[in-house]
Structure 1
Amino acid sequence: MTQEEYKIYIDDVLRRVESARLRVSDYHIVKIIAISKYSTSAEIEKLYAIGQRAFGENKVQDLKAKANELEELPLEWHFVGNLQKNKINNLLDINPTLFHSLDSIELAYELQKKLKAKEMTLDALMQINSAKEDSKHGFMPEVAVEAYEKIKKECPNINLKGVMSIGAHSQDKNIIKKSFETTFDIYKSLDGASICSMGMSGDFELAIECGSNMIRLGSIMFNK
């Protein structure tokens, strides 16, 4: 695929995002994070050349490597993976724009301790397991609001910006929709939250229609 063909392809993806956005409201804004975990630095540069600026990785070592390789470009790096406690300092050394997957109180406390020691703050999203699936990380919906407020109160170096969830693993659109609606209802009840991150390559239009204002697109952005 030539660069011109790739641009036409991405324009079609953007049209789908725009159509879903307009079904919500003329004023609804949606940010795209291009998930580059299966892509090379060269592929990131190709997407950068046609306008994409925010990229996400799910492994700390990969995020560090790509951020170093592409340090000349004004990219916005997001960490979207499960964060092990022994990798916290490595992540903080990179200082990502946003940490998407704060999935437990224990992780929040450990993160707070390391942030305080480094005299740093970190913008983060709290991950909600809205579909209640064993394969997913995150807070159960019933405790999510209480946990969010607890982290805000007890972990002042973590700037909670909102919530993130992964849609239900199902072929049934209604089940997926229900999981998104659960997350959005929690998001609406949180004081000061500004980001509701839901939706990936296979379900982003439904997620936007359910209120998502940040989507995480991997394979579809890199034509894989």
Structure 2
Amino acid sequence: MDASRSIRRRLGDQADANEKRLKAGLEDAGEPQPLHFVLQGSYAMRTTVQHPKNDYDIDDGVVFSREFLKGAQGADKTALDARKMVCEALYDDAFNRVPEVRTNRVRVYYNEGHHVDVPVYRMENPDSESTLYELASSDWKESNPEAVTKWFQKQLEAKHLSEEKDGHHQMRRLLRLLKNSPLAVTAGTCQAVSSSPCSRTRNIRPINSVRIRPFTIFSRY
């Protein structure tokens, strides 16, 4: 089952609170403010499904200008230093578990069971066609935080059926179904579903090659 509106609203509110806490923490530490935030993953693509243990994952990337993301001596901050900076700014005494620096992100744990992942990006040439995004991973690596979500939206628009209501795309429902199956859904699965001719039809052939009518499976959505 897809995540209810109330769950999405709560997760969205906590992502907003996380952003405000990060901005305040950076200001207190005398660090640069982010240019903007980029929601990513299942929350941004609206494919979040209900989890019995509230183990939801919100991906909310933070983007800084490379021009201002400098160390004490004026050199570029390393990828690790940038993640540490964000982690320290996100700290809150109310957390039972402190934020954690991970390889590609900073993770913030919530008492309810879910977490917010904050990938850290730096950006060059923001107002030109040669804009460059880099992710703070083991080193700075080129990575566009908006690319996957924009690709997914284009797939939705390309495969939208005239009889579908806006916001209730069959491809999105297929992904939710796969997430609730024993199969793990990855970006590759997402691409396979979006490119499959089955996602254009009223009848699909999912797991075990059983023909099922989507409007029966997804009637609760």
> What is the TM-score normalised by the length of structure 2?
0.28
Which structure exhibits the higher relative contact order, with contacts defined as CA atoms closer than 8 Å and separated by 6 or more residues?
A: 1
Q: Flag the structure with larger Rg.
A: 2
Relative to its length, the structure with more helix (as a share) is 1
> What is the TM-score normalised by the length of structure 1?
0.27
